[in-house]
Structure 1
Amino acid sequence: MADAGVDRVDHVRDWVDGWVVSRGATPPLVEPWGYTIHVGLPQQVGRHVIGATNDAVREEDVRKATESTRARNTHLKVFADPARVLPWLGPEWEPYGSDDYLMTTELTPAPAPEVPSGYHLRSWTRGAVTRLLITDADGAFAARGQVVPTGASAVVDQIETSEDHRRKGLGRVIMGTLHAAAHATGATRAVLACTPEGHLLYKAVGWRTVAPLTNATYVGPR
């Protein structure tokens, strides 16, 4: 079950700070209702992120955020139940995705899991981003993930396992290795935003749900 109200730890700010580094976006611009991020991609020129979660998300803040742009392909991220949020969006905003979540976990000094036989794990760091790649015996892609420590917090991002290599424990290897890498830098907690498929994996490795995630993009008048 998601936590109600505002958490003592600001999970939204933790996620925003790490996500912009992970994706090479601009530093977040603080708004009265949350954050604006310039992403710079054709299908995601930027995004507005509401700074509260669950019942603390206010209709007036969501409306102010949606009214602050007329740029197509600007995305909106609201960490609250879509059933509450979607009626607050105008017709120029198109929802997408479903059953996405904001999640968190505490990081402990646990060793990284062993890589299953027949697979090879590579790890490298550029700037603040540590990336993992698992390949099979032939060198083909099997799984990946990355983590960005930002002080006491870290953001886990872009977790993916090839359909041909699922249910072999690779997701657990990626997550456990990222946990260990972030903890080694001094991070004590981690956050991520996930799809329904990832939600099952993250729960299985000890993550908890903070809030559901409502997604929308500005498509203009219709």
Structure 2
Amino acid sequence: MHPEHTELHAWARGWAISRATPTPVEVPGGYRIDVGLPGHQVRYVLAAFDQALVDSLHHPGTWLKICAETVRLDPRWHVEPTEYLMSAPLSGGVVAVAPEYRLEVVDQAATTEVRIMAGAELAARGKAALTGEFAVIDQVETDPDHRRRGLGKSVMSALSEATTRRGATTGVLVATEDGRALYSRLGWTLVSPVTAAWLVEDY
């Protein structure tokens, strides 16, 4: 199995765990996740572009994540800016935050959530879903009032430490362009560019 397929498999399963959706169903070349939300009914996660599969999709609220940077999609689809499938070895260690912040780590059955609090205010957060040796990082966010203070790095370090403690060895995530810059500085490497698109409601 190609490395990107291994990481993609982990990401699809971990994303479903993180978002509490049904388990991904295998389809040719990837997975279908039945999300069931308004505007996001179903998501296809594919290792490569499959013209026949894409042509068969007609329902608004259908999303695509395809491991390719350039994909020709007809006008039915709204294409998002390129995203990036990335991975990194995980490691433990002490995670420090500035005195004005408080770090919280909450372990549940198959997820770990990290929150950095400023008093009663949520300053930054992130989540990881555990699937085999992989920890799939999801929903890493920093409040605009607390950016440029290293909190994103602290969240990632805390997730790495916590999931390593729970047996994970490799982190996987899908990043935006801005996120890619942060994660690259933290030692994450590119597995594949990802085309993200959704079927336009009113086309």
- CA distance in 1 between counterparts of 2:68 and 2:2 reads 11
Q: 3-state DSSP class of the match of 1:176? A: helix
Q: CA deviation at 1:167?
A: 1.4
Match of 1:202 among 162, 168, 183: 183
2:103 and 2:192 map into 1 onto residues whose CA distance is: 32
Distance 1:8 1:196 in 2: 19
Counterpart check, 1:92 vs 2:79: no
Structure 1 position 135 matched with structure 2 position 117: yes
Deviations for 1:147-177, whole angstroms, at most 9, x for unmatched residues? 1111111101100011111111111110011
1:212 CA drift (Å) = 1.1
From the superposition, tell whether residues 159 and 91 of structure 1 become closer, same or farther in structure 2 (CA, over 3 Å): same
Report the Cα distance in structure 2 between the residues aligned to 1:68 and 1:202, rounded to whole angstroms.
35
> Is it true that 1:146 corresponds to 2:127 in the alignment?
yes
Deviations 1:70-117 (A, max 9, x none): 2111100011112xx1x2x22222212x13111000113x31321111
Partner of 1:70: 58
Q: How many residues align?
A: 203
Q: Distance in 1 between matches of 2:17 and 2:189?
A: 23
Task: Letter of the 2:82 partner, please give it.
Answer: D
Question: For residues 5-84 of structure 1, what are the structure 2 equivalents within 5 Å?
Answer: 6-7=2-3, 10-50=6-46, 52=47, 57=48, 59=49, 61=50, 63-82=51-70
Q: CA deviation at 1:220?
A: 5.8
**1:167 matches 2:141:** no
Separation in 2, partners of 1:220, 1:150: 33
| Structure 1 range deviating more: 118-127 or 143-152 | 118-127
Given that 1:75 and 1:215 are in contact with CA atoms closer than 8 Å, whether structure 2 keeps it comes out as yes
Matched residue type, 2:89: E
- Over 3 Å counting, the alpha-carbon distance change for 1:112 and 1:71 in structure 2 is farther
CA contact (8 A) 2:33 2:43 kept: yes
Q: Among 93, 97, 101, which residue is 1:115 paired with?
A: 97
Following the alignment from structure 1 to structure 2, what is the Cα–Cα distance between the partners of residues 71 and 121? Answer: 42
Equivalent AA in structure 2 for residue 128 of structure 1? A
* CA-based RMSD: 1.8
> Closer, same or farther in 2 for the Cα pair 1:8/1:191, shift >3 Å?
closer
Matched letter for residue 24 of structure 1: A
8 Å contact 2:4–2:192 — kept in the other structure? no
Task: Supply the distance in 1 between the matched residues of 2:86 and 2:39 (Cα, whole angstroms).
Answer: 25
Q: What is the TM-score with the length of structure 2 in the denominator?
A: 0.93
